[in-house]
C-alpha cells in the first residue's frame, strides 16, 4: 500500500460498495463534501498496484462510455462493451456500428445514469470545441471544455473509473520549447481550447495523486483521417487538401507554406490510445504523454501529393487567427517517454500517410457518387 494515496467512491453502500472493495478501490470510508461521493485511503491491490507490474486480472472486457462519438473502441472491445454518445445526430454508419445514445457532458445526472445503468468501467472523454471554433465562441468553449470536464472528473472519481481525456498540440504556447516540445515544460497556451486542455491535464494529475484517480491523457498532434471532416481545427488543412486534390485539383491553404506542425495518421492515433489505456499503471511515469509520428509543412505534404497527382495547385492565403495559433504551437513533439514507458511507436510516415489518404478519399468519393480526378 502506498501512503497518502486516496480514492473516491460512492457513499451508497451495498452491492456497488462490495464490488468496489473487490476491485481494490475501497478501504475505510470517510466523508467528502463534493457532490455525493466519499474519499478514503486506497488499499492498493493487484487491480491498481504501482508496486507490482502484473496485468489486470483475467476477466470481462472493460465497459466503455465515449463522449464525442469516436468509434474505434468498438473494433477492440465489441458492440456489447462500448457505448458511443454525442449531442449531434451521427451519420448512418455510426448508428449501424453499435449502441449510440444522446449525452450532453453538461448534464451530470444523465451521464451518471448512463454510467450506472450500463456498468461502465472506462470513461473516454472526447467532447470539446476545437481551437479556431473555440476562439469564435469563448463562453461556449469554456462551458463545454471546462464545465463538461469537471462533470466527467467527478463521475470518474465517484465510480472508480479509468478515465481518458485527450489533450493536444494546442496545450503549448509561444513560450514553450518548440523543437521539440517535451512532456514537462512551460505551456501557457493562448487559446481557450489550449487553456482548457492544460486545465484538464493538471486537474487529472492532481486527482490522481490526491485521490488515486486512474487518469490518462495523450497530447495528440494534428490527426489526419478520411472519416473526420474538417471541423474548425488549425491543422484541418492537412485533411482538406486530400479532398481538394481529388475533386477540384486546387487547394486554398489558410497557413503559410513553411508552417511546420506535428501530424499523425488516424490509425496511429487510435492504436496509441488503445495501447495506452491497456498499459499497466505501474509502467506509467506520467499521467500525460506526448505522442508523435511526423512533422511537416503545407508545402511538403503538397509535394508528396504531387508524386501521385502532379497537377495539384495550392494557393496560400494565411488566415490571421489560425496562423497566429499555429505559430504558437510546437514544431515537433518529444515522445521519448511514451516510447520508453509503454512502447509507443508510429507506423505511418509522410509517404505512407499520403498514399493511404489518397486511396481512402478516392474510395469514399467513389462510394458517394462524387467525381474523382
Q: For residue range 283-309, what is the model confidence (pLDDT) as tens digits?
A: 999 999 999 999 999 999 999 999 999
Of the residues 193, 211, 237, 289, only one is catalytic, namely 193
In which band, very low, low, confident or very high, does the pLDDT at 39 lie, cut at 50, 70 and 90? very low
In which band, very low, low, confident or very high, does the pLDDT at 156 lie, cut at 50, 70 and 90? very high
Take residue 206 and report the three cell numbers written for it: 492532481
Q: What is the three-class DSSP state of 136?
A: helix
Binning the chain into helix, strand and coil, the percentages to the nearest 5 are 40, 20, 40
Take residue 55 and report the three cell numbers written for it: 496485468
Average pLDDT over all residues of the chain: 86
- The H-or-E segment that residue 251 falls in is strand 250-253
Active site residue 193: yes
Q: What pLDDT score does 69 carry?
A: 67
Q: What pLDDT score does 38 carry?
A: 36
Q: pLDDT digits over 345-363, tens only? A: 999 999 999 999 999 999 9
Cα–Cα distance between 237 and 2 in angstroms, integer? Answer: 47
Take residue 244 and report the three cell numbers written for it: 481538394
Half-sphere exposure of 300 (CA within 13 A, CB side): 14
- The H-or-E segment that residue 206 falls in is helix 192-211
Cα–Cα distance between 12 and 206 in angstroms, integer? Answer: 25
Cα–Cα distance between 310 and 48 in angstroms, integer? Answer: 54
Cα–Cα distance between 258 and 244 in angstroms, integer? Answer: 20
For residue 26, pLDDT over 80 is answered with no
Q: What pLDDT score does 35 carry?
A: 54
The DSSP output letter for 321 is H
Looking up cell 513560450 gives 175
β-strand 222-224 against 214-220: which pairing, if any?
unpaired
In which band, very low, low, confident or very high, does the pLDDT at 59 lie, cut at 50, 70 and 90? low
Q: What pLDDT score does 239 carry?
A: 95
Cα–Cα distance between 112 and 359 in angstroms, integer? Answer: 42
Distance of CA 184 to the CA centre of its chain: 18
Q: pLDDT digits over 119-136, tens only? A: 999 999 999 988 888 899
Q: What pLDDT score does 21 carry?
A: 32
Q: What pLDDT score does 130 carry?
A: 82
Nearest of 310, 311, 305, 314 to residue 358 by alpha carbon: 305
Cα–Cα distance between 20 and 16 in angstroms, integer? Answer: 6
Rounded mean pLDDT of 324-336? 95
In which band, very low, low, confident or very high, does the pLDDT at 139 lie, cut at 50, 70 and 90? very high
Half-sphere exposure of 121 (CA within 13 A, CB side): 15
Between 234 and 186, residue with greater pLDDT: 186
Cα–Cα distance between 211 and 214 in angstroms, integer? Answer: 9
Global confidence as pTM:
0.84
What spatial distance separates the first Cα and last Cα of the chain, rounded to whole Å? Answer: 63
Q: Return the percentage of the chain with pLDDT > 70, whole number.
A: 84
Strands (E), 77-200: 82-86, 100-102, 122-125, 162-164, 167-168
Looking up cell 486537474 gives 203
Q: What pLDDT score does 95 carry?
A: 77
Tell me how far CA of residue 349 lies from CA of 184, 223, 305, in angstroms: 25, 13, 13
Take residue 98 and report the three cell numbers written for it: 453499435
Amino acid at each position: 500500500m502506498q501512503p497518502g494515496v486516496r480514492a473516491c467512491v460512492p457513499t451508497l453502500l451495498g452491492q456497488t460498495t462490495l464490488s468496489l472493495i473487490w476491485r481494490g478501490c475501497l478501504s475505510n470510508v470517510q466523508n467528502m463534501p463534493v457532490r455525493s461521493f466519499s474519499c478514503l485511503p486506497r488499499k492498493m491491490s493487484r487491480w491498481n498496484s504501482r508496486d507490482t507490474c502484473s496485468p489486470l486480472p483475467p476477466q470481462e472486457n472493460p465497459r466503455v462510455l465515449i463522449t464525442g462519438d469516436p468509434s474505434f473502441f468498438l473494433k477492440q472491445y465489441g458492440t456489447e462493451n462500448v457505448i458511443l454518445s454525442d449531442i449531434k445526430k451521427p451519420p448512418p454508419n455510426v448508428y449501424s456500428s453499435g449502441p449510440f445514445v444522446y449525452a450532453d457532458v453538461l448534464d451530470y445526472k444523465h451521464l451518471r445514469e448512463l454510467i450506472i445503468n450500463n456498468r461502465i468501467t472506462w470513461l473516454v472523454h472526447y467532447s470539446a470545441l476545437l481551437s479556431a471554433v473555440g476562439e469564435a465562441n469563448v463562453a461556449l468553449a469554456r462551458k463545454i471544455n471546462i464545465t463538461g470536464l469537471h462533470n466527467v472528473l467527478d463521475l470518474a472519481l465517484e465510480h472508480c473509473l479509468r478515465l481518458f481525456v485527450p489533450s493536444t498540440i494546442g496545450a503549448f504556447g509561444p513560450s514553450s520549447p518548440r523543437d521539440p516540445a517535451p512532456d514537462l515544460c512551460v505551456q501557457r497556451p493562448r487559446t481557450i481550447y489550449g487553456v482548457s486542455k492544460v486545465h484538464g491535464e493538471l486537474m487529472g494529475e492532481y486527482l490522481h495523486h490526491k485521490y488515486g484517480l486512474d487518469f490518462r491523457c495523450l497530447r495528440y498532434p494534428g490527426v489526419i483521417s478520411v472519416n473526420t471532416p474538417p471541423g474548425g481545427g488549425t491543422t484541418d488543412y492537412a485533411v482538406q487538401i486530400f479532398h481538394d486534390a481529388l475533386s477540384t485539383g486546387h487547394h486554398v491553404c489558410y497557413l503559410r507554406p513553411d508552417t511546420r506542425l506535428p501530424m499523425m495518421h488516424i490509425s496511429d492515433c487510435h492504436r496509441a490510445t488503445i495501447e495506452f489505456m491497456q498499459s499497466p499503471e505501474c509502467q506509467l511515469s506520467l499521467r500525460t504523454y506526448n505522442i508523435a509520428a511526423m512533422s511537416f509543412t503545407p508545402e511538403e505534404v503538397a509535394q508528396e501529393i504531387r508524386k501521385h497527382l502532379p497537377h495539384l495547385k495550392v494557393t496560400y492565403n494565411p488566415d490571421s487567427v489560425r496562423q497566429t495559433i499555429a505559430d504558437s504551437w510546437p514544431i515537433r513533439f518529444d515522445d521519448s517517454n511514451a516510447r520508453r514507458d509503454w512502447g509507443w511507436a508510429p507506423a505511418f510516415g509522410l509517404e505512407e500517410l499520403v498514399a493511404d489518404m489518397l486511396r481512402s478519399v478516392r474510395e469514399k468519393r467513389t462510394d458517394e457518387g462524387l467525381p474523382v480526378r
